């Protein structure tokens, strides 16, 4: 490839959206993928015209990705963790995210180092090493695809894998240049609790002296998906369609929100009990943190806070961690 500059990107493999963060900032692409529909409705008098979602062509076929994709083809909703290890719809979504990043840089070719955050469940248990190896395998190397008819290419030289919660931790202690914030080095030696409320899961992690406290580390499938399932009583909508309405502020969640919040707090109470009182601070991140920001932090007597742009916090922290490690390598 002609471009010799290696860009560091934080990649948050979320189930609700794929998030990237780099030197130019961050972006998220909702995890909506559909197989390309064959027929399109022409513009009709009295109706607004529609702009189709990003159209991605890979070796596996043609897909629409991002917000509104489920309106344009057959929805693909695979919420199993297997998709993170290189399913065709995951590739299409990943390429869609990279397309938007490359457009922001006005480039069509780029060389990357990726720092990837994954949910806790596939990073624990007997299959953890297999899962990490699978992610590294499909992400590494050269990638070619088309987006809206234009060709793109990336070479991914290095893939580093950690947990999403680790990204949130380093977003807290490092600045945008990958150096410690004032007090950041000291904070790493204390006990810091992290609550990540994502689309699929609520994940808990406690770190002390840069090591996870195993008995406080847990996850449960009580993420924003559960809120949408509570709303979707008649099963009339795909989760992607409901997610689009939620992001646009057009989904009525007034009755469902308190029910779901009790599920989230139940996860925290089961695994942390009153032990959170000993933590120096508690970070609340993820798309669910945005929905619960006016209530959940107040359950922790001033110890908890929601960082700026909590949806991008994990990807931003992974990017900062990549910079931090690059600085150390260059010393």
Summarised one tens digit per residue, pLDDT across range 55-113 is 999 999 999 998 888 888 888 876 667 777 788 888 999 999 999 999 887 777 789 99
Residue 3 scores a pLDDT above 70: no
pLDDT value for 304: 94
Q: How far apart are CA 158 and CA 115, in angstroms?
A: 8
Residue 37 scores a pLDDT above 70: no
- Which helix (H) or strand (E) segment holds residue 112: the answer is strand 109-118
- Which ranges of the chain would DSSP assign to H, the alpha helix? 88-104, 128-139, 164-173, 184-187, 224-231, 239-247, 256-272, 287-292, 313-330
pLDDT value for 9: 96
pLDDT value for 14: 78
* Residue recorded with tokens 């689009």: 244
Ordered by start, the domain boundaries in the chain are 6-330
> Which tens digits make up the pLDDT trace of 124-156?
878 889 999 999 999 999 999 999 999 999 999
Q: How far apart are CA 254 and CA 8, in angstroms?
A: 40
Q: How far apart are CA 25 and CA 67, in angstroms?
A: 20
pLDDT value for 124: 83
Of 32, 39, 22, nearest to 54 by C-alpha is 32
> Which tens digits make up the pLDDT trace of 151-168?
999 999 999 999 998 999
> Which tens digits make up the pLDDT trace of 170-212?
999 999 999 999 999 999 899 999 999 998 889 999 999 888 8
Task: Work out the pLDDT band at 46, boundaries 50, 70, 90.
Answer: very low
The CATH number corresponding to 6-330 among 3.40.50.300, 1.10.10.10, 3.40.1390.30, 3.30.420.40 equals 3.30.420.40
Q: How far apart are CA 9 and CA 320, in angstroms?
A: 9
């Amino acid at each position: 490839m002609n471009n010799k500059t290696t860009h560091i990107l934080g990649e948050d493999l979320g189930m609700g959206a794929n998030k990237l963060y780099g030197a130019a900032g961050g972006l998220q692409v909702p995890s909506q993928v559909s197989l390309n529909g064959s027929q399109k409705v022409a513009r009709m008098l009295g109706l607004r015209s529609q702009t189709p979602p990003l159209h991605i062509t890979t070796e596996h076929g043609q897909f629409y990705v991002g917000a509104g994709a489920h309106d344009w083809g057959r929805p693909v909703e695979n919420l199993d963790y297997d998709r993170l290890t290189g399913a065709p719809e995951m590739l299409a979504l990943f390429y869609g995210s990279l397309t938007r990043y490359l457009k922001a840089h006005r480039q069509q070719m780029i060389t990357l180092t990726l720092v990837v955050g994954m949910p806790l469940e596939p990073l624990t248990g007997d299959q953890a090493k297999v899962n990490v190896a699978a992610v590294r395998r499909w992400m590494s190397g050269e990638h070619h695809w088309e987006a809206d008819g234009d060709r793109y290419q990336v070479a991914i030289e290095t893939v580093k894998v950690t947990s999403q919660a680790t990204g949130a931790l380093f977003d807290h202690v490092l600045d945008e240049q990958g150096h410690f914030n004032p007090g950041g080095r000291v904070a790493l030696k204390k006990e810091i609790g992290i609550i990540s409320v994502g689309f699929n899961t609520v994940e808990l992690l406690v770190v002390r002296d840069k090591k996870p406290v195993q008995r406080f580390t847990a996850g449960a499938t009580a993420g924003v998906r559960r809120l949408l399932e509570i709303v979707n009583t008649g099963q009339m909508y795909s989760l992607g369609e409901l997610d689009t309405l939620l992001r646009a502020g057009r989904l009525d969640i007034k009755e469902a929100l308190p029910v779901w919040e009790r599920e989230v707090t139940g996860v925290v109470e089961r695994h942390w009990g009153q032990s959170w009182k000993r933590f120096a601070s508690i970070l609340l991140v993820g798309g669910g943190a945005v929905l619960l920001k006016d209530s959940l932090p107040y359950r922790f007597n001033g110890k908890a806070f929601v960082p700026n742009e909590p949806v991008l916090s994990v990807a931003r922290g992974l990017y900062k961690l990549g910079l931090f490690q690059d600085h150390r390598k260059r010393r």
